[in-house]
Amino acid sequence: MTRPPVVDLSLCICCGVCTECCPAVFVLNPAGYIEVADLPDYLDPDIEEAVRDCPVDCIAFDECMP
Ligand code: SF4
């Protein structure tokens, strides 16, 4: 995907699975929330692993973004 994944923070339980699977993209910020790094593309296959493994299924690719 060239578009960034989006984390639904209202569902995220900060389990750390995505930051472990794909630390280049998913970062725990100092406030304790997951942030998506600003990258030129999001083709890293580890992102799909994070999407799959998120225990509350709160990571998705936003198809509506330009
Ligand atoms: S894997 Fe899902 S629930 Fe866990 S920190 Fe990442 S976004 Fe949040």
Tens digits of residue pLDDT in 46-63: 999 999 999 999 999 876
The protein residue with its alpha carbon nearest to ligand 1, atom 3, reads 12
- Say if ligand 1 is within 6 A of residue 9 CB: no
pLDDT at res. 2: 80
Coil, helix or strand for 10?
A: coil
- Half-sphere exposure (Cβ direction) of 31: Cα atoms closer than 13 Å: 4
pLDDT for residue 62: 72
Residue whose CA lies nearest to ligand 1 atom number 4: 15
Percent of residues, the chain, with pLDDT higher than 90: 86
pTM value surpassing 0.75: yes
Fold entry, domain 5-61: Alpha-Beta Plaits (3.30.70)
How much is the pLDDT for 38? 95
